[in-house]
Structures are given as C-alpha cells and as structure tokens.
Amino acid sequence: MAAESSNDSTAVPARRTHEDTISAPDEPMRNAVSEAKNTAVSSSRRKFLSSIGRAGAAAYTLAAVGAGPLSGSAVADSTDSAASSSRVQHALKLRIETAQRDSRIPVPPHTTNGDEQRYPDHSASYSKGLLQDDIGVVNAAAWASFVKALRSGQNSDFEAIIIGGTHTLNGPQGSYAYDLETADSDQFGNAPWVGDQGGLPLVPPFARIDSADYGTQLVEMYWASLLRDVAFTDYFENLTAIAAAAELTTMPAYRGPRDGNGNVTPGLLFRGTFAGDTIGPYMSQFMFTPTTFGAQPCNQMMTTYLPDIDYMTDTTTFLEVQNGISTGLTNKIDPVQRYLHDGRGLGAYTHVDVLYQAYFTAYMVMSGLKFNLNPGNPYNGSKTQNGFGTFGAPDFAASQGEVAARAVNRVWFQKWLIHLTHRPEAGGGVLHQILSGNKSKIDARLNKNVLNSQAVAQSFTKYGTYLLAEAYPEGSPYHPSYPTGHGTVAGACITLLKFFFDGSYIWPNPMVPSSDGLSLVPYTGSDADQITVEGELNKLAHNVSYGHGILSGVHWRSDTETSLLLGEAMALSCLRDKANTYHEKFTVQIRKLDGSIATITNE
C-alpha cells in the first residue's frame, strides 16, 4: 500500500495550542498540547494507575466495589469475602497489570494536514450540518461555536452549536469515550503500532486539498459515481471503466493497485492493495455464500436501490444537505432482491447495515461450512473436549460486536478531535465553485489534475454541474470523513476472525454473481485456487468500506486504507489484553494486512 506521503505541512487546527503535532484531548477540557514542544500536558489516562500504585489501585477498586452495598446479608457477606477470595484477587491483579502495561505504550504524534489554518473560510475542513453561507463556506459564528464545543467537551457547548437545519451531528461526544480494554484512543496515531516499527503509520495526516494526492482521490470518486450501476464483472469491456483505468494510470499519486507494467486495469478499479484484494472476483465470497443464522436461512440476496438515480447534483439541493435540511427525497427500492454485484448494491447494503454485520455473517459462513480453525486453537486435536465460551462458537460470535464497539470509539476520537476532514461531496463543492467561475468565493484550491479530469468533464455532461453525484439523498453521514467507521470496524473484526479461523484455508468451489445479480455461477479464473480465507476477509473489509466510501461518494480511498490498519492495531491490542484471561494456554499467529505475522500468546 502506498504511504500517505503527500502532506508536507505540520500545522494543526486552530482549536489546538501548538504548531506541529497534537496529543489527545484530556478530560474535561480535552485541550491538547504537544510534548514535542515541551508543553505540559495532563496525562490522567496514562498515569492514573501507576500514580496510585498497585496497593492503592487495589484499595481504590475494592472500595468502589464495597461502596453502598445492596441490602441483604448475602450481598454484604459476598463483599467481605471478595477481599479474601484468591480468584477475585487474581482477577484484580490481572486487570491492574493489564491496564499498567497498556499505559506504558508510547503516545504517538497526532498530525493534521494543516488545512484548517491554511484556509480562513475553513472550506477544506468538515462543517456539514453547521450553518453554511455558501457552497463550501461555513458561517463564521457557526464554526466558532463548533470549535468551542470540541475544545471544551462540555455538553452545554455542544447544545449551543449553530446548525443550519434539523439534522443533528452524529455522536461527537463519543470521541471522548474511555474503554476498559485495549490501549487508549490517544495511543493510536501518526506512527506504526507498537512492536511494528517498520510498518506503516496508523493514522497519518490526510492529504492537503491542493495536493496531487487529494486531486487523484477526488478523480477516483467521480469515476466511481459514473460506474455505480455497472456490474463489476462487466468492467473489462465497459468503455467508462476503460477510460477510468486509463486516466488513473497517468496519475502518479494513485493509491490503488496496478498490474506488473504499472497500469491500472479495469479489473483493478476500486480494489484494495492488501493480500488477496486483487485475487478472484471483485466481491468477496463471504458476501454471497448462502448460510444460516441458527435455523434461519440466509441466502444473501439483498434489497438494493433502483439504478440511474443519484442525488445532490444541483446547487440548491447540495446546499440544503450541507445545512442539514431534509430534501424530502428517499432512495428508490429495487423490488427484485439480488446478490451484490455493483457499486449501487454495495452502497445500499452499507447504507443500513449494522457495522459488524458482514463479519458476523462471515463467521456464520465459516462455521456452517466447517472451515478449519486457526492452527493455534488449543482444542485442535483434543479427543475429550471442545471450546465453547472460550475458543468456541459463543466466543467467535460475541467478539465481533465487542471489538466493533471498541473500534468506533477509536475512530471517533480521530475524526472529531484530530483531523476534521471534509467529505468527498464537500470536495466536489469546492471543485464546482472553482470551475463555475466562483473561485473568488472560496479560499481552498485544488490541484490541476482534478480540474482537468476526464471524469469531472463526463460528470458535468451528465448532470450539468461539477458537483459529485451521491448515492444517497442525504449524501454522507453528519460526521467527519477521515478515518472511516466502517473501515475501522472492518479491520478490527477481520482480525478477530483470523484469530479464530485458519486464514490459509483455500476456498472451495468459489462463485461469482452474474452481471444482473440474480444468480451465482462458478468462478473459473486462473487464480481460483489462490482464493484463501484471509484474502477474502481482507477483500470483504474493502467491499464494505468502499461500499460506504468510494462507490457511494461517501469516503475517500485513504479513509479506508488508514482505517483498516487502525482497526487491526486496536484488535491486536484487545487480543493481547485478553490473552491472559483465557485459562487455556495457546499461541496463535495471524497474518496482518501488510503480510507480516502477529503472534498472540499466553504461554
């Protein structure tokens, strides 16, 4: 995967107080100051347990347990006995040692692209839902109220944000949440994960709006909007797909995969760059293989949307949506259920999915087909017992929701408190202002590669504006773009599935949806015998995140790539925290997204 390298600025948001990097906001004010600048910073998250010591932590914890006991002698007796129970004491020791170990993980820099300071009208920053003065230009008072709330973290300030309509902002206070497992949100940032110093930074700065990187990603978004109703299997012969591949080939900053000659081919469009992403059909086998949810059949045919209906392509509707005003429009349902086979279908799925739905379904597929468990499962080969609550079906299934919740907290911290990256639709708004002769109305500037793009020209011919056509009437959700929630949950959930199942297992009898999505046919490509569980999990993560991203006009490519790495790191942190809670001794290896091996063990 290409490194996030097109950002040469180290400036940070005006709501921060230092120049080049930002550390996490701390409670209650969440005002960050940089250790790199030797400015004092509160670190109550990281130092709480170590500052009071083990004995103090034990006393604190037991006092909390014993405070205000419920009435009844049994409860009171149980409180007294807890202090002398060796199991309870061991559990307490385990929790404290785990928290102390996590607290010693270094806090990396949190680096932005500097656009918030670079453009006084904040036209390159997230402001959707706030009162807008014009396309791409947020009202100054609304922006000030927004930044004040993010700086203070006080509910009263969030309630005082000046919005432009009735649509509410999506969970900004979730960015301040703490967790009782895994490393803290502050400990994931612009550096490789601990122990992986040769790896990619987890959350580097997003591309500057005037960079070739940003322009290339916006061009890709326009091509995806034009190909929304073309079946992935038809890309090879579709003239628009051929043109998209040709233009993206000429762009050095393109982040997607290329063939051995350095070309982007139609079959490589909108694919990821991790192991397995370019092997086999575009759609992961997990997305259409029939399964069961207990006794409930799941044929994996989906309700999708009718083709050729896109939104926010006129300036009036666009500005209404940016203000948070309902347009009264709704997606039109296709009365025929289909297997997911094109961009619009994937967008329809991710529009209403439970965030970990695809990965829970993947668990059901593997369980139903009796796929091999990870070779490190301690019950492999046992003749007298099997896993259940640990290393068994309830553990496999429940872990998906558990790790998804932790992942959302990590990415919300990055979205709201660090990057405030605007959505692709907002980038289309900036593009429209510039190309429509309204350059003087907006401060942000774009690279010439998008100003001269064939994709933008074709979109203008189709819609009559330079705005990015959206798959949903409301466009993107009302929270910042970078990184993405779907992607972070994806990275976390597939990591847990790799922990439990054998990623090297070859997929038997792979299939592919027909071009109308009404049937499945055998996949006969020359790489059919290279399709593995871990590759299809990586592909599944991209299918879902791109479905709610590039293919629907909602997220940038780099949103997904960064988020998958963030989710994976968070899941590995979770697994290492949980390892000693298992009674069974085990050593499990997982092939990570970058191809390296992570080992989880309690031996």
CA distance linking residue 531 with residue 591, whole number of Å: 15
CA distance linking residue 32 with residue 14, whole number of Å: 11
- Tell whether 548 is covered by a domain: yes
Q: Residue with structure tokens 């609550």?
A: 389
- Tell whether 601 is covered by a domain: no
Residue 240 CB neighbours (<10 A): 16
Assess whether 218 and 71 both reside in one domain.
Answer: no
- End-to-end alpha-carbon separation of the chain, Å? 33
- Tell whether 6 is covered by a domain: no
CA distance linking residue 131 with residue 10, whole number of Å: 28
- Tell whether 133 is covered by a domain: no
Beta bridge partners of 601: 587
pLDDT digit string, tens, across residues 406-434: 999 999 999 999 999 999 999 999 999 99
Assess whether 378 and 247 both reside in one domain.
Answer: yes
CB 568 within 8 A of CB 490: no
* Domain stop point among 103, 125, 150: 103
Q: What is the mean pLDDT of the chain?
A: 89
CB 507 within 8 A of CB 533: yes
Q: Is residue 33 over pLDDT 50? A: no
CA distance linking residue 385 with residue 373, whole number of Å: 15
CB 278 within 8 A of CB 265: no
**For residue 64, what are the CA distances in angstroms to 25, 53, 61, 79, 86?**
26, 16, 5, 11, 19
Assess whether 233 and 95 both reside in one domain.
Answer: no
- Tell whether 256 is covered by a domain: yes
CA distance linking residue 501 with residue 577, whole number of Å: 20
- Tell whether 424 is covered by a domain: yes
pLDDT digit string, tens, across residues 327-385: 999 999 999 999 999 999 999 999 999 999 999 999 999 999 999 999 999 999 999 99
- Tell whether 149 is covered by a domain: no
- Predicted local distance difference test score (pLDDT) of residue 199: 84
Assess whether 227 and 95 both reside in one domain.
Answer: no
Assess whether 332 and 456 both reside in one domain.
Answer: yes
Least confident of 60-64, 96-100, 433-437, 477-481: 60-64
- Tell whether 588 is covered by a domain: no
- Residue numbers of the domain that contains 73: 44-103
Task: Read off the CATH number of the domain in which 551 is found.
Answer: 1.10.606.10
Give 169-227 as a DSSP string.
Answer: P--GGGGG---SSSS-GGG-SSSPPTT-TTS--SSPPPPPTTSHHHHHHHHHHHHHHHT
Please give the share of the chain, as a percent, with pLDDT higher than 70.
Answer: 86
Q: Is residue 27 over pLDDT 90? A: no
CB 553 within 8 A of CB 473: no
Assess whether 377 and 256 both reside in one domain.
Answer: yes
The band of 78, judged by pLDDT with boundaries at 50, 70 and 90, is low
* φ, ψ dihedrals at 493, nearest 5°: -65, -40
Mean pLDDT of 226-246: 98
Number of structural domains the chain divides into: 2
64 versus 410: the higher-pLDDT residue is 410
CB 490 within 8 A of CB 274: no
* Domain stop point among 103, 123, 143: 103
CA distance linking residue 239 with residue 510, whole number of Å: 28
- Predicted local distance difference test score (pLDDT) of residue 198: 78
CA distance linking residue 507 with residue 195, whole number of Å: 32
Residue 261 CB burial class (10 angstroms; 0-12, 13-18, ≥19): exposed
The band of 47, judged by pLDDT with boundaries at 50, 70 and 90, is very low
